[in-house]
Amino acid sequence: MSGYLGANLDALWEKLLAHMAERFLVYPVVPSSNSYPSTPQTSLSFGRNLITMQWPPDRSPEDFLDFAAELGVRVVYPAVQRFGDAELNHLSLLVPALIPGADEFLRKAGERWNGHVWSIRLTWVYGGVEHYWTVRADWYEELCQEAVALQQRGAPAVIAEHMALVHELAQALAADPEFQRIPTIKKRIEAAPRLSPELLRIMHSGSGGYHLAEDVAREAWRIYQDELIPAEEKELAKRAEELLSQGHSKQVIAGRLGISPNRLTRILARYSGMGS
């Protein structure tokens, strides 16, 4: 680990710029907008396949530059990354807005660190080898760790809240006769927002999307299959038993209950033992 990890990288950056300007041609490198904020600047390459070598992390950047000067290197390519939108976006991936405290965490991080240097990389090329020295601020590492910890602490509550919402929406949807007649899961998911105004409202508010509709549709079908159908069939079995005790045939009972004789037999076999 570099001895500069916990140092003030803003001051170090200014010091290194002045040091390089006295001895080298300095060509600053702008980090790629596509680079992941938690990773060091990637190889310069210059369109060639160069071997890359990292300067030992326990050696100072001054030693790194002194070695370049001894070899006769004339050009140094420094890259600096400052805390800004890209870093906030990275943190927001680690701790999504649904996590309690996420907005406050991101707001404070932006206010405290916006514009401060969190990563420095110095590069020079000699003999077909790209040599580099790099350092990252300890406060940025700590921010990432804090974001992960916040996500881990908040995730159970978010999951529980999500499941409670899904179950509430699914209970109403499961009782809808039109939903009960839909034959495939794909069509149930597509129909769920249309049949559930509250689900549609939540989706339009940006708090959910296709995955919420899918969760609700799947839970609604489970409720229908595991809870509503058994409850309905138990009631049918009770009514059928009453009619059987009055001497009615199964054919007549099935007609009165609006179900097929075969289904009546299955219901009685399952819930009353009178299916034979």
Please check whether residues 88 and 198 belong to one and the same domain: no
If residue 273 lies in a helix (H) or strand (E), which one and from where to where? Answer: none
Please report whether residue 169 resides in a domain: no
Check residues 175 and 211 and name the one with the higher pLDDT.
Answer: 175
CA 204 to chain centre: 20
The backbone torsions φ and ψ at residue 236, rounded to the nearest 5 degrees and listed phi first, read -65, -40
Please check whether residues 57 and 191 belong to one and the same domain: no
pLDDT at 273: 59
Please report whether residue 161 resides in a domain: no
pLDDT mean across residues, the chain? 85
Here the contacts of 140-149 (C-beta below 8 Å, separation 24 or greater) are 140/83, 140/87, 140/113, 141/5, 143/91, 143/109, 143/113, 144/38, 144/90, 144/91, 144/94, 146/105, 147/91, 147/94, 147/95, 147/105, 148/94, 148/95
Q: State the pLDDT confidence band at 2, using cuts at 50, 70 and 90.
A: very low
| pLDDT of 200 over the 50 cut | yes
Q: Which of 125, 154, 183 is the last residue of a domain?
A: 154
Cα dihedral sign, 266-270-272-276: positive
Three-state secondary-structure class, residue 84: coil
Please check whether residues 142 and 192 belong to one and the same domain: no
212-246 burial: b if 16+ Cβ within 10 Å, else e: bbbbbbbbbbebbeeeeeeeebeebbeebbebbee
Give the residue numbers spanning the domain of 96.
Answer: 9-154
Please check whether residues 146 and 180 belong to one and the same domain: no
Please check whether residues 147 and 34 belong to one and the same domain: yes
Please check whether residues 125 and 232 belong to one and the same domain: no
Please check whether residues 144 and 21 belong to one and the same domain: yes
| pLDDT of 163 over the 80 cut | yes
19 token code pair: 């040091």
Could you read off the pLDDT of 202-222 as tens digits, one per residue? 888 766 666 789 899 999 999
Please check whether residues 133 and 22 belong to one and the same domain: yes
Residue 79 · residue 158 · CB < 8 Å: no
Please report whether residue 57 resides in a domain: yes
Domain count for the chain: 2
Q: State the pLDDT confidence band at 29, using cuts at 50, 70 and 90.
A: confident
Please report whether residue 170 resides in a domain: no
- Mean pLDDT on 23-32: 84
Please report whether residue 97 resides in a domain: yes
Please check whether residues 191 and 236 belong to one and the same domain: yes
Please check whether residues 150 and 179 belong to one and the same domain: no
| pLDDT of 233 over the 60 cut | yes
Could you read off the pLDDT of 118-140 as tens digits, one per residue? 999 999 999 989 999 999 999 99
Q: Which of 94, 121, 154 is the last residue of a domain?
A: 154
pLDDT at 197: 93
Please check whether residues 66 and 122 belong to one and the same domain: yes
Q: Which of 51-60, 167-176, 187-196, 214-223 has the lowest mean pLDDT?
A: 51-60
- Mean pLDDT on 173-197: 94
The CB density around residue 67, as the number of other CB atoms within 10 Å, is 16
Could you read off the pLDDT of 15-26 as tens digits, one per residue? 999 999 999 999
Q: State the pLDDT confidence band at 3, using cuts at 50, 70 and 90.
A: very low
Residues paired with residue 81 on neighbouring β-strands, in sequence order? 119
The CB density around residue 125, as the number of other CB atoms within 10 Å, is 20
Distance CA 131, CA 73 (A): 11
Please check whether residues 188 and 135 belong to one and the same domain: no
Please report whether residue 160 resides in a domain: no
Check residues 41 and 110 and name the one with the higher pLDDT.
Answer: 110
pLDDT at 194: 95
Measured in residues, the chain has a length of 276
pLDDT at 34: 40
Please report whether residue 211 resides in a domain: yes
Please report whether residue 263 resides in a domain: yes
Could you read off the pLDDT of 51-109 as tens digits, one per residue? 889 998 788 999 999 999 999 999 999 999 999 998 988 888 888 767 888 888 999 99
| pLDDT of 164 over the 70 cut | yes
